[in-house]
Amino acid sequence: MAAYITPVVNSTAVFKDGLFDGKVLFCTGGGSGICKAMTEAVMRHGAHAAIVGRKLDRLTTAAQELSTATGKLCLAVQADIRRPAEIQAAVAKTIEKFGRIDLVICGAAGNFLAPISKLSENGFRTVIEIDTIGTYNTIKATLPYVRASKGSYIHVSATLHYRGTPYQVHVSAAKAAVDATSAVLAVEEGPHGVRSNVIAPGPIAGTEGMDRLGVREGNGAPSSLLSTMPAGREGDVKDIANAAVFLFSDAASFITGQVIVVDGGNEHLLKFGLPYPQAVLDPDSVTKMIRPRL
């Protein structure tokens, strides 16, 4: 008997077209993958957007694609979110272009597979700086404008820190801090009319994250995750985008300080992809199963 497979739908099939008319989205990491899909969905419902990242060529191409696909304006702004002055300048350019910021996605992230014994101090620090400090810098730079518009934040996290996930100490620490930061932001800024929530994606097919982190078979092909997917399929970027549209909408006006896991139920059947305890006793023996660090 075949298992039921949940469908993938576009947000426009569920939510009204002008949901975010007159609003402006500010998204870090919006040049590719999950964050680009989230930006596109919000734009399809009426918002203009600014996408922020370090690679201007990628951002410019993505901004053009997003504008063409949605008919809304998308501004590409180069900035390293680890540097407060650069993210502040990106916010200033957004305000100069659009005059406001209503919605913020803190999505820039970095990750790779490495056991603690082989993870350098610099590697650990870099992920903390991008994921955690970058999120804080983005909040600080955008908060006056989000307060003014009674807007909302979405932070992109992960499910790795819900249990001890080998080879992921750096991102587990970083994302746990992001979750905590969002909760404090929700409590402190709620009286000002600001909401803050977290989306924790599971494995999403076709993304750079899955390409980098997915465990490889002996022939180099990615391992299948379908056996741990109660929803019967791999995640799609639209799944995350749909969650973002909902959380930013007035339908979620009483939802703040929450972590929304979007993983097709994967967390409940999650297994460590590398052989355990072999992977921690002899890390060199599993190097061929891991994509080389970029």
Other beta carbons less than 10 A from residue 228's beta carbon: 18
pTM for this model (two decimals): 0.90
Indicate which CATH number applies to the domain containing 209: 3.40.50.720
Which residue has better confidence, 232 or 170?
A: 170
How many domains is the chain built from?
1
Residue 72 forms part of a structural domain? yes
Quick one: average pLDDT of 242-265? 97
pLDDT at 221: 46
pLDDT of residue 44: 98
Whether 98 contacts 18, CB under 8 Å: no
Q: Which domain holds residue 190?
A: 16-289
- pLDDT-derived band at 233 (thresholds 50, 70, 90) equals confident
Q: Which amino acid is at 84?
A: P
Is residue 8 one of the residues assigned to a domain? no
Question: Over 90: is that where the pLDDT of 209 sits?
Answer: no
**Tokens standing for 244?**
């973002």
Q: Which helix (H) or strand (E) holds 35?
A: helix 33-44
Which residues touch 120 (CB under 8 Å, ≥6 apart)?
none
More confident position, 262 or 278: 262
For residues 55 and 120, the answer to whether their CB atoms sit within 8 Å is no
Question: Which SS3 state, helix, strand or coil, does residue 9 take?
Answer: coil
Give ∠ CA 152-107-190 in degrees, rounded to 5. 20
Give the least confident one: 23-27, 105-109, 213-217, 229-233: 213-217
- Give yes or no for a contact between 138 and 35, defined as CB atoms under 8 angstroms apart: no
Residue 273, both tokens: 């992809």
Distance CA 133, CA 177 (A): 9
In a domain, 294, yes or no: no
Q: Give Cβ neighbours of residue 76 (< 8 Å, ≥ 6 apart).
A: 31, 50, 51, 56, 59, 60, 62, 63
Using DSSP, state whether 177 is helix, strand or coil.
helix
- Output the CA–CA distances (angstroms, integers) from residue 102 to 98, 145, 186, 249, 274, in the order listed: 11, 7, 15, 11, 42
- Choosing from 32, 157, 172, 182, which is the catalytic residue? 157
Classify residue 229: in a domain, yes or no. yes
Report d(CA 98, CA 100) in Å as an integer: 6
What per-residue confidence (pLDDT) applies to 120?
Answer: 97
Strand partners, 197: 154
Residue 68 has pLDDT above 50, yes or no: yes
Q: Is 71 a domain residue?
A: yes
Question: Tens digits of per-residue pLDDT, 82-128?
Answer: 999 999 999 999 999 999 999 999 999 999 999 999 999 999 999 99
Is the pLDDT reported for residue 249 higher than 60?
yes
Q: Is residue 145 part of a domain?
A: yes
76 with 133: CB under 8 angstroms? no
- Asked about 72 being catalytic, the answer comes back as no
- Please compute the mean of the pLDDT values over residues 279-285 and round it to a whole number: 89
- Catalytic pick among 23, 36, 72, 175: 175
Inside any domain, residue 201: yes
Return the pLDDT at 234.
87
Residue 56 lies in a domain: yes
Alpha helices (H) in 49-166, listed in sequence order: 56-70, 84-98, 121-127, 134-149
pLDDT of residue 280: 86
Instruction: Say what the pLDDT of residue 5 is.
Output: 85
Contact 257, 182 (CB under 8 A): yes
Residue 211, pLDDT > 80, answer no
